């Protein structure tokens, strides 16, 4: 980890012919299909405007559940219905570099939760020092703030609220975020002497219309019998095609993506044995 933080990265090394594991970037998969005799899987991907075909004994689709029915139209109808039940949560992470964090020191806070506001939270970034990168040490030094916004629409269910929020997010331009950043930081930190006009040095807005995997909510979703939840139906092996990603576990975090990847590999090993 210490060597990676400030290192120059050569992405071409990821697709080295001499390596037993190769990662091919900028290659969007559009179709995966089992062979007639079930001995292999062919995957079509597009790179640089050109369609390419690769074939292997098995395939793991570690991608968004809702796109898999389009990539594998030969799947059973029940599986194609289970996969798109997952509706990704739209999410916006915003970073704001400020001249110093004297206002936080004066107010004796490092994070502020703001129910009902545009950004639901404002917090100083994690104090990480690693591999030549040092976090801010003193209140008169610059600091990066993290602000979170989850766009939702007025709809009946959580999944429909997220669809409406995604549509809303796609229409929002940078000035909308900038105005809300300046207004909210001024109100939150103003009593500590913070001035948005002079203390904000840079803003980065990271928008994910398809952000987190959908997690079941007892207010909106039924209670399914074991093995009958949409994600469980959707992630079943389909010939040599297996399904991973956090969507397959209906839980949005890295540990679930790792668990689902492990499960998919175990399925393959069980098939081969």
Domain boundaries, the chain: 11-86+215-272, 89-212
Q: How confident is the model at residue 192 (pLDDT cuts 50, 70, 90)?
A: very high
The pLDDT of residue 224 is: 95
Q: Model's pTM, two decimal places? A: 0.86
Cα angle 8-10-14, degrees, rounded to a multiple of 5 = 140
pLDDT tens per residue across span 96-115: 999 999 999 999 999 999 99
The CATH class of the 11-86+215-272 domain is alpha beta
Lowest mean pLDDT among 68-77, 123-132, 258-267: 123-132
Q: What is the mean pLDDT of the chain?
A: 95
Spatial CB neighbours of 123, under 8 Å, sequence gap ≥ 6: 110, 111, 112, 145, 146, 147
Distance (Å, whole) CA 19 – CA 183: 52
- Does domain 89-212 bear CATH number 3.90.660.10? yes
Distance (Å, whole) CA 251 – CA 188: 32
pLDDT tens per residue across span 85-96: 999 999 999 999
Spatial CB neighbours of 130, under 8 Å, sequence gap ≥ 6: 1, 2, 5
State the SS3 of the chain. CCCCCCCCCCHHHHHCCCCCCCCCCCCEEEEEEECCCCCCEEEEEEECCEEEEEEECCEEECCCHHHHHHHCCCCCHHHHHHHHHCCCEEEEEEEEEECCCHHHHHHCCCEEECCCCCCCEEEECCCCCECCECCCCCCCCCEEEEEEECCCCCCCCHHHHHHHHHHHHHCCCHHHHHHHHHHHHHHHHHHHCCCHHHHEEEEEEEEEEEEECCCCCCCCCCCCCCCCCHHHHHCCCECCEEECCHHHHCCCCHHHHHHHHHHHHHHHHHHHC
């Amino acid at each position: 980890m210490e060597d990676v933080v400030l290192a120059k990265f050569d992405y071409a090394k990821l697709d080295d012919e001499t390596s037993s594991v190769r990662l091919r970037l900028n290659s969007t998969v559009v179709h995966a299909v089992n062979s007639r005799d079930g001995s292999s899987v062919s995957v079509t991907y597009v790179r640089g405007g050109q369609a390419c075909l690769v074939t292997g004994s098995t395939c793991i689709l570690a991608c968004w559940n809702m796109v898999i029915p389009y990539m594998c139209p030969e799947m059973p109808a029940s599986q194609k219905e289970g996969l798109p039940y997952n509706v990704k949560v739209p999410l916006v992470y915003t970073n704001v570099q400020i001249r110093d964090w004297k206002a936080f020191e004066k107010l004796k806070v490092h994070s502020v939760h703001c129910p009902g506001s545009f950004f639901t939270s404002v917090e100083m970034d994690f104090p990480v020092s690693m591999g030549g990168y040092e976090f801010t040490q003193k209140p008169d030094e610059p600091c990066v703030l993290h602000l979170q916004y989850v766009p939702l629409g007025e709809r009946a269910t959580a999944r429909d609220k997220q669809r409406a929020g995604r549509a809303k997010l796609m229409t929002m331009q940078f000035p909308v975020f900038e105005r809300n950043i300046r207004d909210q930081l001024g109100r939150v930190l103003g009593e500590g002497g913070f001035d948005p006009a002079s203390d904000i040095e840079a803003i980065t807005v990271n928008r994910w219309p398809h952000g987190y995997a959908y997690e079941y909510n007892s207010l909106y979703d039924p209670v399914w019998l074991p093995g009958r939840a949409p994600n469980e139906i959707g992630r079943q092996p389909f010939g040599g095609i297996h399904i991973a990603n956090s969507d397959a576990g209906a839980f949005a975090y890295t540990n679930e993506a790792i668990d689902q990847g492990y499960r998919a590999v175990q399925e393959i090993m069980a098939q081969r044995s």
